[in-house]
Structure 1
Amino acid sequence: MSHSHTVFKQPLSKKVRVEVVYETSPVFAKEELSLIVRFKNVLLPTFDDFDIRRNGSDSGSTQDVASITTTKEDAKAESWFGTRLSMQFSSAKRLLMQREIETIEDEDLSETILLGYIQLFGNLSLNEEIMNPEPFEAVQKKAIVGGRMAGITGLEVSRAPKPFFSSRDELANRNNVATSEFLQGNIIPLFSSPQSLLFTEITLHPGETRSFHFKTALPQDIPPTYHGGAVDVSYQVIVGSLDALLVRKSLFFPFKLHPWLDRWGNQPQYTLMDPIIVVRDEATITEIKSHRKPSFKALHKNSATETESQAELERKTEFLAQLKKLDSRRQSISEVHPNGTHLTVRESIFLLADNLAVGDVQNTEVAGLSPQIGRSQRKFKISRKSVPIATVTLGKAVVKLGEDIQVFVDFSKDTPVWKTSGLVVSLCLMEDIRSVYLADPSSSSPTASQQNKTCVDSVALNTLDCQQAAAVVHVPLAATSQFQSDVVDVSWKLEFEFVLLSLEKDGSVYKLARDDSNGTLFVDSGDLSGFMLNVAVPITVLPSDQELVGVVFED
């Protein structure tokens, strides 16, 4: 079965293009980031086609002239002026093409690259309308090496009072930030790996491609990719090079990171003020010698040892056996994994979201980790001043990115004073920002936080004569699951906006207009009084356990 991958393409020079192919997208923290880097000379491989065009033009022109003078009838039919003009055009065409070929032949179509390297970089960007950059300046200055952020070519720092990075606009585009003003020069490092050498001194001839497989394990406690209203967390694969003129260049290729979760639904509480700088290079780099288009399956098959393959087979066999047990007996996670079996994050999410009774999960806490699945509740009773309004039931207590949330509402029959005439159901992403990092914290107490809300989907319902209602809202696949950090907490909520009408006058929203032999006619009361009741309930949103379909991004 074919597998789709996410591919990014960028020009390194007029002759060479760099392609980065991610094996999986998104990638999870604590797991391996695996990708292929291709350096390709995009110029024509040979001049045979030009020679054919040149020879063809000559023969074609001769054939044209011959066809003009082959028969006496044709020669008589065409004037000497037309024949001379046609021959002049043919000669001019041949001369122009010959000059073009000579120009191309004079150029050196090959390109030499003295060295190539790869590096990982994660950064935090601030919206200064909301966030105060001053607490982050110390972190920013520590990461400046040789006048560059984390020593990365392309992220040069100016000597201005407020540091400015020469590539911030490019980095903003790579990170899918709407406007470059969002960055305001404040690129705070979160994660950096050492430079891993891909090659030294290669020469790419026209049409030639050199491919390298890069693989490295990511830290467990790096925060996920996140694009919010106050902060932006992004990750890049940086491919750097040094050409024959000793000119350095860096290309930025974004990748999406999902947070690590253990088998009980716990994940780290991230520290954005303390960047993770990896000093030891533990990446594995292999040049792909095959002339065929390389596949990750073949790479893993060639590199895996017999012991590793057997261990992987045993792990998959055990995982399938656990799924079978869950389907038959719906056991809890502690019963399924008594010996602490190591699962991938995708497998843990699959079990947590689809197959587990989460009652046991909330009691399994791990030191240093933050539980994501607490008392996940599916049913909520809504009331006002002890008067029941409705009962809300969710289809799932735990959902994943890219899934739908089914909402069922039963309106109370025992409400003599209010009637629900309308309902709006909204799915909202919540940002809770610590007050110490706010641009204007004067309005908040030292322990308070500012909450930003972004509604990603909503449904409006007419419920005037309804006893029950149902709605479906969608969790965007491109969004970020919930997480906690020392700067901002990200969570999800379902908001319900009930439109309540007062029935205290006569207990009805209608009044009798006519009642005769032709029938009975009711009209609205006209001067109904009502109000809005806003209620929010939390919902657990985990990363998706599915890979994205293949996408190609080309500059």
Structure 2
Amino acid sequence: MLEVIATLPRGPVFLAGETLCCNVTFTNSSADNQSAEEVLAWSSVQIICQCTVSESRVQLPRTTALSTEEASTTGCETSFVPNKGERGLTVLCTKPKILFCDLKLAPGATRTYQYEEVIPTDAPPSFRGQAVKYSYKVIVGTQRLEKTTKMVRVPFRVLVLFGLNDISVYNETEEIAPSNPFLNNSRKENSVLDVGLQEVISLYFIFIFNTDSYNIANGRGKVARFLLFKQAYKLGEDIVGMFDFDVGTVPCVQYSVTLQSEEKISEECRRKPGQGTAITSYVKHQEMCLNTLRTHMNIPIPLTATPGFMTDIVCQRWRLHFEFVTSLDKVDGPESVPADCEEHQWQGANTLNVETMVWDLPIKVFPTNPIHASSVTLMKTSALINMANG
């Protein structure tokens, strides 16, 4: 029995532009020394990205996708079709890399090969929306002599930081690099991960020092003032804001804040001209606030979410969705408690005449360190197949 195992040693999350490393191990698990050795004709590895869409909402232009036949011939000159059996359309197919030809394994023998491939910086991110889905896999194809091709599929996730160009511009040249006679001056080039994290931090700091104050009002007056300490966040961060109801003239009974993403299909890909935007809600903070002077909210951004991005098919943006329930009548609060009174009870009104107002505040969500995102993912880092003799 021959086993083929493909493993992603660093984890299943990568930043576009990084080098993906996959270890492929071939093992002849026959314990009987009298068994014949296993012979494999070849093995090849490559990366594909499949795009799956809701046919009731999206119609893809012919130029944005590769059919099964095209994917097998466009940069994929092997005898197996990597997207065979996959749903959707292939939007990315890297050139195949051959691991070996004519491999012989004696009973109990094991051979491990390392596959490395750079994920294109212009690749779409991994995304599971209501109308569009982008999914990545490492495909390992292996064939015995005169047998059918067997494939191992290892799914992984890609985070994209748009604007990340050639990393050579981030590496110091010898002319401008500082020199120290007491140190080894060998130049160390930045990795794509280092550059990507630097770029996230640079973009991040553009927004975090801008504390914004918003006056929330309706036709009857001012409801509250909302303070948001920054407008840009990374995956896994908490969105912290403060409400000041003391400045309001309209009594607010309850408020809620929901973290939402907007999935908007491009006009040329919409199935219907008047098609709306799909909204996905993630985390909700809700609080009763009648007679409250000040309070705050704290909403975590899931590490499993997809940062804002745009492709030829879909655009995703992030926002905070606010709902305020205000009273149409004046609500008297509790009276001041006398100093000599130990207990004081206030009974609110049984019914209130209320109305609801909504407000959407756009925010920016950037990728985080892919190693951090790997710590919470449910994706497996390895896959295995058994190649029977039949």
The TM-score bracket by the shorter chain reads 0.7 to 0.9
**SS of corresponding position for 1:472:** strand
**SS of corresponding position for 1:391:** strand
Question: Given the superposition, is the C-alpha separation of residues 201 and 342 from structure 1 closer, same or farther in structure 2, using an over 3 Å criterion?
Answer: closer
1:410 corresponds to which residue?
244
TM-score, normalised with respect to structure 1: 0.57
Q: Distance in 2 between matches of 1:419 and 1:228?
A: 38
1:311 corresponds to which residue?
187
Q: Distance in 2 between matches of 1:18 and 1:136?
A: 37
- Decide which of 114, 118, 126 is 2:53's aligned counterpart: 126
Q: Distance in 2 between matches of 1:537 and 1:383?
A: 14
1:30-49 C-alpha deviation (Å, 9 max, x unpaired):
232223222233343x66xx
Q: Distance in 2 between matches of 1:227 and 1:122?
A: 13
Give yes or no for contact 1:431–1:490 (8 Å, CA) kept in 2.
yes
Does residue 117 of structure 1 match 2:44?
yes
Q: Distance in 1 between matches of 2:71 and 2:280?
A: 40
- Decide which of 318, 321, 331 is 1:508's aligned counterpart: 331
2:232 corresponds to which residue?
398
In the TM superposition, what is the alpha-carbon distance from 1:496 to its structure 2 partner?
1.1
Give yes or no for contact 1:347–1:545 (8 Å, CA) kept in 2.
no
- Decide which of 443, 446, 458 is 2:284's aligned counterpart: 458
1:47-96 C-alpha deviation (Å, 9 max, x unpaired):
6xxxxxxxxxxxxxxxxxxxxxxxxxxxxxxxxxxxxxxxxxxxxxxxxx
Matching residue's letter, 1:224: P
Between the aligned residues of both structures, percent identity stands at 20
Question: Given the superposition, is the C-alpha separation of residues 451 and 145 from structure 1 closer, same or farther in structure 2, using an over 3 Å criterion?
Answer: closer
Give yes or no for contact 2:161–2:366 (8 Å, CA) kept in 1.
no
Q: How does 1:16-415 map to 2 (within 5 A)?
A: 16-23=3-10, 25-44=12-31, 108=36, 110-132=37-59, 135-137=60-62, 139-140=64-65, 144-145=69-70, 152-153=80-81, 155-156=83-84, 167-168=85-86, 183=87, 187-262=88-163, 310-312=186-188, 344-353=195-204, 356-358=205-207, 378-385=212-219, 387-415=221-249
1:363 corresponds to which residue?
none
Question: Which consecutive residues of structure 2, in runs of 5 or more, have no partner in the other structure?
Answer: 166-184, 336-340, 385-390
More strand by share: 2
Matching residue's letter, 1:434: S
RMSD value, Cα: 3.4
**SS of corresponding position for 2:115:** strand
Matching residue's letter, 1:350: I
Q: Distance in 2 between matches of 1:508 and 1:146?
A: 67
Q: Distance in 1 between matches of 2:265 and 2:211?
A: 25
Give yes or no for contact 1:17–1:42 (8 Å, CA) kept in 2.
no
**SS of corresponding position for 2:304:** coil
Q: Distance in 2 between matches of 1:342 and 1:231?
A: 27
TM-score, normalised with respect to structure 2: 0.78
Give yes or no for contact 1:405–1:472 (8 Å, CA) kept in 2.
yes
More helix by share: 1
Does residue 425 of structure 1 match 2:257?
yes
Q: How does 1:500-539 map to 2 (within 5 A)?
A: 500-503=326-329, 507-509=330-332, 523-539=347-363
Question: Given the superposition, is the C-alpha separation of residues 127 and 524 from structure 1 closer, same or farther in structure 2, using an over 3 Å criterion?
Answer: same
Give yes or no for contact 2:82–2:141 (8 Å, CA) kept in 1.
no
Larger radius of gyration: 1
Aligned length: 352
Q: Distance in 1 between matches of 2:364 and 2:116?
A: 32
Matching residue's letter, 2:40: I
Give yes or no for contact 2:258–2:281 (8 Å, CA) kept in 1.
yes
Q: Distance in 2 between matches of 1:383 and 1:243?
A: 72
